[in-house]
Structures are given as structure tokens and as C-alpha cells.
Chain A
């Protein structure tokens, strides 16, 4: 398992909306649009900048969904890396300040 001290926060440049059980996320800067599944939505909603990703996976994902913890952590890191590359999530090895979050 990789570094556990990853903190994630939603970018202030995004718009998000839940519809019919799915979360739609749009980056206003480049108009990229994502639809998140249930697990991704749970991670996205827990991205408060203060809770380490590993804690989100342990206390939210593994509690709510029937998933293997190690696989869940790997999947979560991939998901975070992808949304980060599109400017949807901010990632840091330290807690993120409130200005970064909504």
C-alpha cells in the first residue's frame, strides 16, 4: 500500500450535482464533465481536505461497500489521481486549507 498521508479536497473551480443516484462533476475552467459511480461519489463527498485518503477508504468506503480494503485503497488512489489530473480534486501530503475547499 502506498503513502497513507494523502489529503484530498474538491477544487473551488468545479460544479457538482447529484441526480438519480449519480454525481455529475464539471470543471468550469475547461468544461470537462464526469459522472461518478457510488463509490467515487462517496470519496468525492468525503474530500474535505482534512481527512486522509486512507481514513476515507477505511471508514467510508469499506463501511458502506463490500470491498477488499487493499483493493479499495488502490482503486481510490487511481480515482484520485485521475480527478486530480483534470483539476477536480486537489491532492496534498498535508491537510489542505479551507480556501481550497468549498
Chain B
């Protein structure tokens, strides 16, 4: 007789996904790993896990493609398929939490791309009711900024930020996807107030970034795996819209706690210049080729 399946519903970015398995140990791992993100909400999507032996870890590239309306995702350590029409999918992997994280990130990236949102390789935190994002290449300081966050700042993630359209702009949500800090983000959200591209330097300084350069940097840091021209085009449109609505700056910083004073001041400054920011909704944006 087949073992009964049990479900853990994991809700990231207000998107409840049921993860079902017949393996008690895997269920326990799921519940532990996503403890702050378990939900009693009715799931919008479902993934069924089959823990057949595959490679335990893999340095292979991930491949994500749509075939006959079904998304196929594979890497050495997992194979998954997901039907966006029914919302259901299956995953074959080992009981490896890193494979699990990867599958969830890919699924969220596909759903978000359709909905005008995206996952960003960045740390994010809520400061005085607004979300600030810190992006950059590995070693630029995402984890450092997270570590330096003063009391009262809520960490959303030190690695993968979650952005969705909200109230005419964008909101950042907490994620369980941790980086070097090895700590899950808080399960909450706030309107995105600014995106900072980090560089370390001898002093703290903020610089403007030209819109096209901001989009280029943003696109370089968005997590997206699908070889799909239509979704990539959608993502580019989203990136342009984000840059038009959310201030993007280069933050050169000296790694001590004073950098957060600079961040706090800049958020207040952006708030006061709200009209100026609205004017950055470039008239050229809709000119799609």
C-alpha cells in the first residue's frame, strides 16, 4: 500500500504553495527549514516530492524550459515539472534542502515574472516602515550590511529578495533563503523605498545611477532561469518600471554601523522628494520594440 502523503504549506510573498511528501523525515526537514513561513492558507499551487535517488549535490547548470505548456526544470540533483494551468507539479530529488530551495526559487521566479515581480540577488530589510535593498556582486557587502543592521531594523533576507507590484509601486517580502548569515528572513513586507548597489570604500557616499545603467545592474542581479524570450521581455519591462518607481543609487560604504545612518537619511530624503521620484516615470518606457 502506498504511504499517505502529508503536506506543509509554505507561504512566501503571500503565495502559499503546498509541498507534499510521504517521507516523514523530509516533512520534518521542510517544516524546520521554512518554520517562519508555514501557513494555514489554502494553497494556490502544489508540488509533490518523490525522493528517488538523484545526485546529492550538483554544480551543473540548471535548465528551465517550457514544453507544451509544462515547465520542465532540471539540474543534476533534481528534475521537476510544473503545470501553470493546474498549478500542480512534481519534483524528483534527494532529501537535500539545497535542491529544495532551488526548486522553490525557480517556481517563484516563474510565477513572479508573470505577475510583474522578481527575485533579486540582494539583502533587504525594513527600516522605519520602508524596505531597503542592498545588491551587488558576491563580496560587495550584502551580508555585511545585514550584520551591521541596528536594533529596530527587520531583516527580510541577506541573500534573495522578493519583490512584487503593490499599490502602484513595489513591496519587498521576507524570504527563508539565507546567505552567509545562515538565518532565515522575517516573514513580513513593506513598500520598497530604495535599491542600493553596494561597493565598499573608505567613506560612505551615495551616487545617482543613470536609468539605463540602473536597469542593466538590476537585470544582472535578477534571479531568472528560464530560456523563454517572452518572459525575459516581461522581466525587462518590469525592471524598467521598477527603476522608474523606486530610487536606485550606488552606495559606497565603509563597513561600520554609521552606514545605516546614511541609509536612514536617504530614505527620509527620498520620501520628501516623492514628487521628483514620480516624475522619473519616463515617458519613453512604453516604447517597446
Question: How many Å from the CB of A41 to the closest CB on chain B?
Answer: 9
Q: Cβ of A22 and Cβ of B229 under 8 Å apart?
A: no
Chain B residue numbers with a CB within 8 Å of A18 are 284-285, 287-289
Q: Cβ of B288 and Cβ of A16 under 8 Å apart?
A: yes
Q: Cβ of A26 and Cβ of B289 under 8 Å apart?
A: no
Q: Is A67 an interface residue (CB 8 A)?
A: no
Separation of A12 and B230 alpha carbons in the complex (Å): 10
Chain B residue numbers with a CB within 8 Å of A102 are 289
Question: How many Å from the CB of A75 to the closest CB on chain B?
Answer: 21
Q: Is B98 an interface residue (CB 8 A)?
A: no
Contact of A21 (CB < 8 Å), options: B220, B237, B284: B284
Q: Is B258 an interface residue (CB 8 A)?
A: no
Q: Total A-B residue pairs with C-beta atoms closer than 8 Å?
A: 67
Question: Chain A: interface residue count, which band?
Answer: 20 to 34
Question: How many Å from the CB of A3 to the closest CB on chain B?
Answer: 26
Chain B residue numbers with a CB within 8 Å of A45 are 289
Chain B residue numbers with a CB within 8 Å of A15 are 229, 232-233, 235-236
Chain A residue numbers with a CB within 8 Å of B219 are 26, 31, 33
Given A16-B289, A17-B288; A26-B282 close (CB under 8 Å): no
Chain B residue numbers with a CB within 8 Å of A26 are 219, 232, 236
Number of interface residues of B (CB under 8 A): 25
Q: Is A14 an interface residue (CB 8 A)?
A: yes
Question: How many Å from the CB of B244 to the closest CB on chain A?
Answer: 8
Q: Cβ of B229 and Cβ of A23 under 8 Å apart?
A: no
By DSSP majority rule, is chain A's interface helix, strand, loop, or mixed? strand
Question: How many Å from the CB of A23 to the closest CB on chain B?
Answer: 7
Contact of A17 (CB < 8 Å), options: B228, B231, B289: B289
Chain B residue numbers with a CB within 8 Å of A22 are 211-212
Q: Which of B220-275 contact A (CB under 8 A)?
A: 220, 227-229, 231-233, 235-237, 240, 243
Chain B residue numbers with a CB within 8 Å of A17 are 215, 236-237, 240, 285, 287-289
Q: Cβ of A19 and Cβ of B212 under 8 Å apart?
A: yes
Q: Cβ of B215 and Cβ of A14 under 8 Å apart?
A: no
Given A13-B229, A102-B289; A20-B210 close (CB under 8 Å): yes
Q: Cβ of A19 and Cβ of B285 under 8 Å apart?
A: yes
Q: Is A1 an interface residue (CB 8 A)?
A: no
Can you name 12 A-B pairs with beta carbons within 8 Å?
A16-B288, A18-B288, A18-B289, A19-B240, A21-B284, A22-B211, A26-B219, A26-B236, A28-B228, A28-B233, A35-B213, A35-B216
Q: A19-B212, A28-B232 are in contact. List 17 more A-B contacts (CB 8 A).
A: A10-B289, A15-B229, A16-B288, A17-B237, A17-B289, A18-B285, A18-B287, A18-B289, A19-B240, A19-B243, A19-B285, A24-B212, A26-B232, A28-B231, A29-B227, A33-B220, A44-B289
B interface vs A, CB < 8 Å? 210-213, 215-216, 219-220, 227-229, 231-233, 235-237, 240, 243, 282, 284-285, 287-289
